[in-house]
Amino acid sequence: MSVLFISDLHLSSERPDIIELFVKFMNNDAQHADALYILGDLFEVWLGDDYYEPELEPAITALRQFASSGKLLYLLHGNRDFLMDTGFEKMTGCKILPDPSTITLHEKSALISHGDELCIDDTEYMEFRKMVRDPQWQKAFLAKPVEQRIAFAKQARSESISKTQQKELDIMDVNQNAVEKLMADHGVELLIHGHTHRPNTHRFNVAGKSMTRIVLGDWYEHGSVLTCDKKECELKSFTL
C-alpha cells in the first residue's frame, strides 16, 4: 500500500474532462492507497462552503466515498480554495490540515505545503495573499451574496492572468532561502509542495545534510501524482 499526493487540479465547470479524470483517479488508482493528500488548489475557486458549482458534485461525491471507505483523506488550502472550512470537511469526510504540516511518511518526517508562501520574491502576490488570508477579510467576504463573490473571483482571476504574463518566471517560483529556512525550522529533510506547476525533484545540501524538495505538477496537459511507499517516492505523470 502507498500514500498519494496530488495538487493543483483546478477543478471547475469549464474543464469537465478534468473532473471526469479526477473521479476515475479516485475510483481506481486512489483505491490502492492508504492515504491521499491534496496539497491545495483542488478547485479553480471555492467561494465558501455554502456554494459550489453543480458540475463539481461528482468530485465531491468521489471524495466522500473515498473517505467513507475508511481511507485517510487530507487537504491543504491553496491560493484558489482557501475558503474551504468545516462545512467542506463534513460534506467530504476529509481533514483540512494547517499549511505547512509535518507528517510521518513511512516512519520518517516530511513537511507538506501548498507552496505559495515560499514565493516571497513575488511581493505583489504576497501582499494579496496576506489580505485574503486575514480572518476579518474572509468573514466580510463570506457575508456577501454569492453573486458578489462570483464577480470578485472573476475579476481577481482576470487581473491575476494579466499580471502573471508581465512577471518573470523566476519571481513566481519559490525562494531557495525560504525553502531551506522552512525545512530547518521544522527539522525535516523532505518537503513536498505544489503551486508552481513545475513538477520536479530537487536535491541539495544544507550544512552537510542531504535535502529533497518534491514539486507536484498541475492537472492541465498532464495529470500528476506522487506515490510514496516504504522504498521510495515516485513522481508520475499521465496523459489526460
Q: What is the third-level CATH fold of 2-239?
A: Purple Acid Phosphatase; chain A, domain 2 (3.60.21)
- The predicted model gives 45-70 an average pLDDT of 97
Over residues 218-233, the pLDDT tens digits come to 999 888 999 999 889 9
Q: Which residues contact 2 (CB under 8 A, 6 or more apart)?
A: 32, 33, 34, 227, 228, 229
Contact assessment for residue 191 and residue 212, using Cβ atoms and an 8 Å cutoff: yes
User: Phi then psi for 144, rounded to 5 degrees?
Assistant: -80, 155
Place of cell 456554494: 51
Over residues 14-33, the pLDDT tens digits come to 999 999 999 999 999 999 99
Query: What are the boundaries of each domain within the chain?
Result: 2-239
As to burial, measured by CB atoms within 10 angstroms (0-12 exposed, 13-18 middle, 19+ buried), residue 140 is: exposed
